[in-house]
Each structure stands twice: as C-alpha cells, then as structure tokens.
C-alpha cells in the first residue's frame, strides 16, 4: 500500500459483506483465497518507514542491522479482469508423507461475478460497473487417483462473442454488461468420443479446471 491510497487498498469493486458463500462452492474458494489476513507475531512485515523512524537514516540501518517489524494486513485481489478466466482447483492433500486426491464435488455456476474479488480500482472495467461477469465455456475433469487416471473435457459450442473479440484485440471495454450465459450446446469429449450433454451434466462434474469467458 506504499504506492496506493491506504483507504482504498482493501476496497473491492462490489461489497463482500452481503456474500454468504456456500461451503464446497467455487464462490467459497474465491472468498477464502481473497480474504483479509492479519500478519502478526512471526509473520510481521518489515517496515522501512518504521525502521527509519527508529534507527535514523538508511546508511545507518545496514550497519546496525536494526529492523522494525510491524503488524500488517494482507489481501489478494484481482487488479486486472482477464478476457478469459481460468480457475485451477487444488485436488490433492497431504496424508502423512503421501499425497491423496480430493474427490469432493465443488459447485460452480454457469455465470460468475468476480466483482467482490476485484480491487475497487480494477483495470479494464468500465466506470460505474459493479459487476464483472463471466460465462462458463469449458471444464476439464480428472477421474482416477494421484498415480493414474483419465482426463476428459466438457466444451460449449457457441456463437462468436464479438464484444469479447474486440476487447482482446483492441482493449475496448463495453459499458453494457450481459447477465445471461452464452447460449450453446455442451459436448463431453473423451479421447475420440464426443457426445452432446446437458448443462446439468456439466455442472455435476468433478471439475479440475474451469474456463470462463468475460461477458461484455
């Protein structure tokens, strides 16, 4: 926050106070990943300003090796909303000296709003917009264990998003924001086998990778 307005450093594009993310959902994962953390005790932050106040000019700091650590706050927020959002779910956990696959189903929506997880000064978001919406178009699923398994994919065949193309190629952001998922047909792809499936089938999959395109 040394180069930012401290009052705005922890503000988000949309309020987080009304969020009540369901456990086991992608919203809960994002909420936990972007939560405000307090850095205290052994996690205190080395403060150059505090050190200079306490020890004097910088040329004396190195020689005396007196550093001042202070309590601080830390928060990971999105500062640049990408045209394509890729979410990678961590599907393993440590079990002693071994790794074990996590097979728990994580709920994910067809349309997701990133605004509560974006900084208030998020770049490439039109002024006045309090929503940063993305539409699901691809899912990678893994079946099996940590040692062996099989990857399959769900892909939505849809019409071209011209607004998104202009945004990617020219960096032009639209004031209008679509709120509905991009229409199209979902397909399940396993090696050379391709089969049309319903959206409900996709949303019930054990997602490993999620691909969203920005709605503009």
Q: Where are the domains of the chain?
A: 77-214
Residue 2 has what pLDDT? 47
DSSP state of 77: -
| Residues whose CB falls within 8 Å of the CB of residue 171, separated by 6 or more in sequence, listed in order | 124
Backbone dihedral angles phi then psi of residue 198, each to the nearest 5 degrees: -85, 165
Number of C-beta neighbours around residue 110 at 10 A: 16
Task: Choose among 103, 73, 67, 52: nearest CA to 1.
Answer: 73
| Alpha carbon distance 23, 62 (integer Å) | 48
Residue 1 has what pLDDT? 45
| Alpha carbon distance 39, 32 (integer Å) | 16
Residue by residue, pLDDT tens for the chain (216 residues) are 445 666 677 889 998 887 888 999 999 999 999 998 888 888 888 888 888 777 766 555 455 557 888 888 888 999 999 999 999 998 887 777 778 788 889 999 999 999 999 998 888 888 888 899 999 999 999 988 777 889 999 999 998 777 777 777 776 665 555 677 888 999 999 999 999 999 999 999 999 999 999 987
- Strands 118-123 and 69-70 turn out to be unpaired
Domain 77-214 grouped into CATH 3.40.50.300: no
Structure tokens at 85: 């959002």
DSSP state of 181: P
Q: Dihedral sign for Cα 64, 62, 67, 2, please.
A: positive
Residue 4 has what pLDDT? 61
Residue 32 has what pLDDT? 92
């Amino acid at each position: 926050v040394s180069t930012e307005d401290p009052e705005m450093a922890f503000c988000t594009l949309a309020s987080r106070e009304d969020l009540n993310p369901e456990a086991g959902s992608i919203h809960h994962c994002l909420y936990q990943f972007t939560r405000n953390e307090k850095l205290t005790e052994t996690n205190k932050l080395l403060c150059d300003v505090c050190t200079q106040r306490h020890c004097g000019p910088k040329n004396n700091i190195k020689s005396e090796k007196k550093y001042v650590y202070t309590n601080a706050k830390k928060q990971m927020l999105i500062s640049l909303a990408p045209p394509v959002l890729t979410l990678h779910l961590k599907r393993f956990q440590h079990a002693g000296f071994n790794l074990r696959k996590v097979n728990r189903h994580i709920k994910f929506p067809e349309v997701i709003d990133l605004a509560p997880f974006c900084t208030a000064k998020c770049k490439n978001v039109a002024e006045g917009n309090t929503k940063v919406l993305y539409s699901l178009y691809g899912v990678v699923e893994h079946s099996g264990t940590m040692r062996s398994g099989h990857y399959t994919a769900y892909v939505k065949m849809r019409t071209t998003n011209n607004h998104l193309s202009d945004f990617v190629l020219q960096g032009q952001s639209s004031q209008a924001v679509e709120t509905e998922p991009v229409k199209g047909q979902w397909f399940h792809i396993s090696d050379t086998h391709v089969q049309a499936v319903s959206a409900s089938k996709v949303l019930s999959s054990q997602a490993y990778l999620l691909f969203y395109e920005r709605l503009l």
